[in-house]
Amino acid sequence: MSAPAPMPVHTLGRSGVEITGLGFGAAAIGNLFTEVTDEVAQDAVSAAWDAGIRYFDTAPHYGIGLAERRMGAVLSEHPRSAYTLSTKVGRRLEPTPDASGDDLAEGFAVPATHRRVWDFSADGIRRTLEASLERLGVDHVDVVYLHDPDNHAEEAFREGYPALEKLRSEGVVRAIGAGMNQAEMLTRFVKDTDVDVILCAGRYTLLDQRALTELLPAAVERGTSVVIGGAFNSGLLADPRPGVTYNYTAASGEVLERALGMKAVAERHGITLRAAALAYCVAHPAVAGVLVGTRSAAEVRDCAEQFAVSVPEAFWQELRDTGLLSDEAPAR
């Protein structure tokens, strides 16, 4: 098998932390929606490594620790200095020894062995990070994100962010940020704090450009890096068809029609919609990389192949001409 083409590498803000342009997001291997076996999950992480991916992102939330354990098991085969690892804080896991049933109410097909406690306090953040390190089997992570502080803004800005800043000043972590499924509060983090990076999920895609108005321009101005998650909007841009999810719920007829229109344009230009979706995310100068949430080795290899595709300018122009893409959206 030939060696993969070198991945582009970018530095997060002024932190010195480098990530590959394509990163591996671990929600799916935490049994998001459906169960994935240990072997399949670990093969997916191994395939990411073989494809040249060196940025791996996870969180305690993903399968109440399962994704961290699975990812750590595979990455333990490689030198810690050879890859960049991020996890998240804000949801602290507490054991529930008498609980029964599963965690599907939170989206994960795992036994309900723990419950999540929202905790953006300084003590909670340190405890959560220490538990993540134990599950991952490493002595440090490179990046820590405040995870989904949507309904906890006051605590996140008053306690959570200063706690991360202290961890960074102590050298415990090298880069700090926030990860959310919205653009508005992330813009506040960029403007009002000294984060190195923000993780914006599902709000800068071919179907949703809300981050383009304020967040991305603010990031460019401040020198803050952006990592994009949810490039496929939870499935629709990977394979648009009736019944596929859009931002974790059933896609409406209108948004499905738009996705199918984009797919038809892509096919006319000899590319896939997946390739276009990934290329769109990384074209903006604020964006350092894009995370893909894959649950199998085949999906990983496909994403790496699509990421390497050169999307013709004529494709972008046709999207603009037909009103499927904003004129302001940069593309490559």
- Enzyme catalytic residues: 62
| Residue type for position 108 | F
For tokens 């603009």, the residue is 320
CA–CA gap between residue 313 and residue 272 (Å, rounded): 14
Nearest to 38 by CA among 13, 14, 70, 63: 70
- Tell me phi and psi for residue 268, to 5 degrees: -65, -25
| Run of H or E including 102 | strand 102-103
Question: How many residues make up the chain in this entry?
Answer: 332
For tokens 């892509």, the residue is 266
| Contact indicator for 219, 190 with CB cutoff of 8 Å | yes
For tokens 């209108």, the residue is 254
For tokens 């896609």, the residue is 251
Nearest to 162 by CA among 102, 170, 268: 170
| Residue type for position 81 | S
Max Cα distance, the chain (Å)? 59
- In the DSSP assignment, the letter for residue 252 is P
